[in-house]
Amino acid sequence: MFDEYIRPYILDMNILLYLNMETTFYSLAARGLEADLVKVEVDHYKSQPGTVIVGLGDTAVQESRERVRAAIKNSGLYYPRGRVVVNLAPADVRKSGPCFDLPIALGMISLSHGLKLDLLQESIYLGELSLDGDLRPITGVLGLAAAARNQGFKRFFVPLQNAEEAALIDGIEVYGIRTLHEAVDHLQGALDLEQVRIEDLKSYFDRATPSLIDFADIRGQAQAKRALEIAAAGGHNILLNGAPGSGKTMMARALQGILPPLSIEESLEVTQLYSLSGLLPENDFLIRERPFRVVHHTASGAAIVGGGQIPKPGEITLAHRGVLFLDEMAEFPPRVLELLRQPLEDKRITISRTQGSLTYPSQFLLCGAMNPCSCGYYQVPNAKKVCECSPGSIRRYQQKISGPLLDRIDLYCTVSPVPYRDFHGTDYLESSTDIRERVLFARQVQLDRFQGSAIRVNTEMSAKAIQEFCPLSSVVSTILDKAIDRLHLSARGYHRVLKVSRTIADLEGRGQIGESDVLEALQYRRAEA
């Protein structure tokens, strides 16, 4: 009687003839933030030796033939002779990357080695093989683990370096594998792998490091600091306009230090995006701080919004739940800046290609910094230099940022150079910790207000929510009516003034929007042509 786990075979002229030759392992193919189930079917028959991989795989998938062959032989395992066919089903779904190496290798090994095939039905296998049989980490594991759980699988086998990341997903058993031989030993019943668990996820957030720049290190600029505090409290977009050396970039970088910490839900959301992009920190598996993405003005549109033959997340997606900082914003090509208009409104970006469309989240706080003109000194108070730009040059420079894009910026703040005498002052300056306490208070007020809805911060309010949560007295309504005519506010601009006013009132602990709240919000609004 044959062992129930061993496939019988007959040795004839160095060709193995199997009584049951087809084996199926389950894997996943990433499709943006989602994943498609892939059946890795391996079959063997007597013919000219060779290996064929079918199923619409990219170059990395096709190259797995050589990686798998070397890994199996160097692990001391038997590589099947004759013709081996590997089918990645369904055949009409594109597969990319080296993550199918492990299931392909196990499928080939199962043709001649005794494996507990009853374990395969509820297990997902992913991993890249090195030539010596070691498993290398892959990208996008967090999203793939969530997809495996959602599709009803119970076990998830990945390279050991990815195991802790995958274990962030509840409801599925995660096992880390070091080598191909270790995986085979487990499937033969000779080795029990230890399940990887994350016992206390909250403790990992204690490792977050504070921002390197503190507001206490920045002299002067009281109005700009106040504007950044409002931006952090309500998630509002902000643009700092001022002369070179006035501290715009330094203040923008300090903004990260006053933002509230990521919740566990937000952290997993951001971690999934960075895992998909292969940008998780080395020897770490969790993003604990809100992203702060600095984009250079030479970046292409695809780099900012995402793209490629298989669309990958761009900077606006990597800044999700954090800050997208555009330094020297007027130096960006206008066509690139215009790409931001739709994501700023919809909080997501859809990238369409001939192969299909992928949608990524892009809910970020836009922080821009720019000079008022090419030389940087047009109408700058206390400037040591005089602007030498012509009126036409100034107009062309400022028009690089279109009116519709400026209309989506809630806070427009002019930054003036700090007098030298203030550099050595001894006055107490608020630290980022002090400001952050007020921001956290305002954020909690908003969470309580919007409880039970998808809204988290004031900037996310719809027109209907504004009408409900931003009631105005007759005096405040009169002020806004006059401001609409004087500042030429659009309907969007009017709503954004109300959102900022609501945030200012929250920072001050007021339930009703008052005159001072609206007047302060209006002073940050740029007059529209």
Least confident of 66-75, 86-95, 125-134, 278-287: 278-287
**CA dihedral of residues 298, 302, 305, 306 (deg, nearest 10):** -130
**pLDDT beyond 60 at 523:** yes
Predicted confidence band at 224 (pLDDT cuts at 50, 70, 90)?
very high
Q: How confident is the model at residue 144, as a pLDDT?
A: 97
**pLDDT beyond 70 at 426:** no
More confident of the two residues 309 and 131 = 131
Q: How confident is the model at residue 221, as a pLDDT?
A: 87
Q: 24 forms bridges with which residues in the sheet?
A: 41
Predicted confidence band at 137 (pLDDT cuts at 50, 70, 90)?
very high
**pLDDT beyond 80 at 204:** no
- pLDDT, one tens digit per residue, over 478-502 is 999 998 888 888 899 999 999 999 9
The amino acid that residue 393 corresponds to is S
**CA dihedral of residues 370, 374, 378, 380 (deg, nearest 10):** 40
The conformation of residue 457, written as its DSSP 8-state character, comes to: S
> What is the Cα–Cα distance from 63 to 438, expressed in whole angstroms?
55
**pTM of structure:** 0.90
Q: How confident is the model at residue 201, as a pLDDT?
A: 79
Report the pLDDT averaged over residues 341-369: 92
> What is the Cα–Cα distance from 127 to 329, expressed in whole angstroms?
42
Q: How confident is the model at residue 2, as a pLDDT?
A: 37
Predicted confidence band at 421 (pLDDT cuts at 50, 70, 90)?
low
Report the pLDDT averaged over residues 18-33: 80
Q: Which domains does the chain have, with CATH numbers?
A: 9-187 (3.30.230.10), 215-431 (3.40.50.300), 461-529 (no CATH)
Q: Which residues contact 295 (CB under 8 A, 6 or more apart)?
A: 303, 304, 315, 324, 325, 326, 327
Pairing of strands 128-129, 135-136: antiparallel
Q: How many CA atoms lie within 13 A of 198 on its CB side?
A: 20
10 Å CB burial of residue 118 (0-12, 13-18, 19+) is: exposed
10 Å CB burial of residue 466 (0-12, 13-18, 19+) is: middle
Predicted confidence band at 116 (pLDDT cuts at 50, 70, 90)?
confident
Q: How confident is the model at residue 203, as a pLDDT?
A: 75
Q: How confident is the model at residue 140, as a pLDDT?
A: 95
Least confident of 80-89, 109-118, 137-146: 109-118
Q: CB–CB of 364/235 below 8 Å?
A: no
Q: How confident is the model at residue 527, as a pLDDT?
A: 58
Q: How confident is the model at residue 166, as a pLDDT?
A: 97
Q: How confident is the model at residue 388, as a pLDDT?
A: 87
Q: How confident is the model at residue 18, as a pLDDT?
A: 42
More confident of the two residues 213 and 517 = 517
Q: How confident is the model at residue 228, as a pLDDT?
A: 97
> What is the Cα–Cα distance from 100 to 29, expressed in whole angstroms?
9
> What is the Cα–Cα distance from 389 to 386, expressed in whole angstroms?
9
**pLDDT beyond 70 at 528:** no
CA 273 remoteness from chain centre: 4
Report the pLDDT averaged over residues 443-460: 95
> What is the Cα–Cα distance from 145 to 124, expressed in whole angstroms?
9
Q: How confident is the model at residue 49, as a pLDDT?
A: 87
10 Å CB burial of residue 468 (0-12, 13-18, 19+) is: exposed
More confident of the two residues 529 and 74 = 74
**pLDDT beyond 70 at 425:** no
Least confident of 18-22, 145-149, 523-527: 18-22
Q: How confident is the model at residue 353, as a pLDDT?
A: 80
**pLDDT beyond 80 at 251:** yes
Report the pLDDT averaged over residues 440-450: 97
Q: How confident is the model at residue 485, as a pLDDT?
A: 87
Q: CB–CB of 103/26 below 8 Å?
A: yes
**pLDDT beyond 90 at 108:** yes
